[in-house]
Structure 1
Amino acid sequence: MRTEFHAEIDHLTVELGQMCEIAATVMTDATAALVHDDDDAAHRVGVELARLTYLHHSVDERAFAILARQAPVAHDLRVVMSAFPISADADRMGGLAANISKVSRRRGSTPVPPVALDVFAAMGRHAVALAERAHSAVLRTDLVAAQHITDGDEAMNALHRRLFTMVLDDRWEHGPIAAANVMLLGRFYERFADHAVSIARRVVFQASGQLPNIGASPM
């Protein structure tokens, strides 16, 4: 019976890791769609997002079943209870990346100035790295990877501030619609990073039983 229980816990953890991995893939394709106007990448976003949604439901169902049938305690209980917010965070990461892809498909009507694309390319690289670190942290309860997520979030915040500086500069010549578009995209990247930080906090909670104050939980 305990062998079956731990197999279920392991399966739950693997699915959570897969969700973080898919979130990284979706962000890779979404950024390619935005920065390089890559229609094939934009199409892949929808395919991968469907996989992410399926896993989100699978994780929730599996976690509820473990709670109902196995009555886990201590560390095992923390792992199962953390699965719900981690799954929600990873699913939201995919949704935010998909929003970036949607904006890229509207570039004809809501332009993204070339001056901002280099910043978005950098934000995309940071976002993918954060999701990959979340994947490692979840699969291995890797506290070093969890801390690196926090460090990466600080870099993302710096890039987000750079967008503000760009748009508010007197030399901005692309108009208010482009400015609003740039800030909206920046917000998507910044919130993606916040959800990765939330996953890191849950990994630390699994290991220690304490929820660290390394970043506010995103809405």
Structure 2
Amino acid sequence: MKPMLRAAYRENLEAFNRDLIAMCDTVCTIMDHASSALLEQSLDDAETALSEIDSLQEISERCEERSMSLLALQSPVAGDLRQVLSALYVVENFERMGSLARNIALLARLRHPAPVYPAPLQGYIEELTRLVREMGATTRALLDNPDPDVAVELHNIDEGVDDMRAFLQTLVSDRKWEYSTREAVDLAMVARYYERYADRCVNVAGRMVFLVTGLKPEEYLRQRDEPDYDPDEKFATIERKFRR
């Protein structure tokens, strides 16, 4: 690639990365307002979350246009190609995260001024929103500094979200559930939305691991924690053992 073309390519790639960060910031903002709408029965927060969806869509479309330019017109080398494809994967996850946050805001608006869930369960929802907010902040930090060790730790927080969702699912399906069927269904939906949002954060973190190391998260962990691990040697051992 000629120097001038290379400079233009790098400029476009940096602009793409800035849009990616802006998209993450917008997603986190939408989820923060959606969570406030849920926790506080705030109609204003619900409307703010929903209004931010348009901004998210604009950034997403801009990212798509930039990616087409980078891939089709400027023939990136292998390392840059991995970066562009990783960014596209991240954009897709951010879009879905925005949709999940939007669903929470819509449900809060639909039930307003009544709460979505029974008041005695407030503490559980607060913990769920706290975990997801932490995951969103970590995901944002990874865009600035794609540290694979930080990225793989998101799995630990995600397990906490999975546990909360499983607990709430058990709660609403218990015969001793003392609230309405509507509240049971709404609570199960909310827990599912947060769980899927958290899963998308893990997906983005996994892509950051791949971007830095070229490895899937589980492969990176294996190499990090078992420095002498050699898959080729292990496979050869298995082959020798069972060869006839």
TM-score, with structure 1 as normaliser: 0.90
What does residue 63 of structure 1 align with? 67
1:92 and 1:80, CA in 2 relative to 1: closer, same or farther beyond 3 A? same
The amino acid of 2:214's aligned partner reads G
> Unpaired segments of 5 or more residues in structure 1?
215-219
Deviation for aligned residue 1:213:
4.1
Once residues 11 and 143 of structure 1 are traced to their aligned partners in structure 2, the CA distance between those partners, rounded to angstroms, is 23
Q: Which residue of 1 aligns with 2:87?
A: 83
Q: Which residue identity does 2:183 align to in structure 1? A: A
User: Alpha-carbon deviation of 1:22?
Assistant: 1.4
| Equivalent position amino acid for 1:162 in 2 | F
**2:190 partner amino acid:** L
Q: Is the 8 A contact 1:110 1:181 kept in 2?
A: no
Match of 2:189 in 1: 184
Identify the residue that residue 217 of structure 1 maps to in structure 2. Answer: none
Deviations 1:9-56 (A, max 9, x none): 111112112212211111110011011011111111022211111111
Alignment equivalent of 1:23, drawn from 7, 22, 27:
27
Structure 1 residues 49-70: Cα deviation after superposition (integer angstroms, max 9, x where no partner)? 1111111111111011001122
Q: 2:238 corresponds to which residue? A: none
Q: Compare 113-122 and 19-28 and name the one that shifted more.
A: 113-122
Give yes or no for the alignment of 1:74 onto 2:106: no
Q: Is the 8 A contact 2:107 2:116 kept in 1?
A: no
- What are the ranges of 5 or more consecutive residues in structure 2 without an aligned counterpart? 220-244
What does residue 155 of structure 1 align with? Answer: 160
Q: Note the alpha carbon deviations across 1:136-180, whole angstroms, 9 max, x for none.
A: 112322223312322211111111122023223343111322111
Q: Which moved more, 1:29-38 or 1:157-166?
A: 157-166
Higher RCO structure, 1 or 2 (CA under 8 Å, sep 6+): 1
Question: Which residue of the partner structure matches residue 208 of structure 2?
Answer: 203
Aligned pair partner of 1:114 in 110, 119, 138: 119
- Local SS of the residue matching 2:217: coil
Where 1:106 maps in the other structure, the secondary structure is: helix
Q: Which amino acid aligns with 2:71?
A: L
- Distance in 2, Cα, partners of 1:6 & 1:50: 28
CA RMSD of aligned residues (A): 1.8
Q: Distance in 2 between matches of 1:144 and 1:19?
A: 23
The higher radius of gyration belongs to 2
Conserved? CA contact 2:152–2:206, under 8 Å: no
Given the two structures, how large is their TM-score scaled by the length of structure 2? 0.82
Correspondence for 2:136: 131
Q: Is the 8 A contact 1:116 1:163 kept in 2?
A: no
131, 145, 159: which one aligns with 1:140: 145
Query: Are 1:165 and 2:165 counterparts?
Result: no
Measured in 1, the distance between the counterparts of 2:131 and 2:26 equals 15
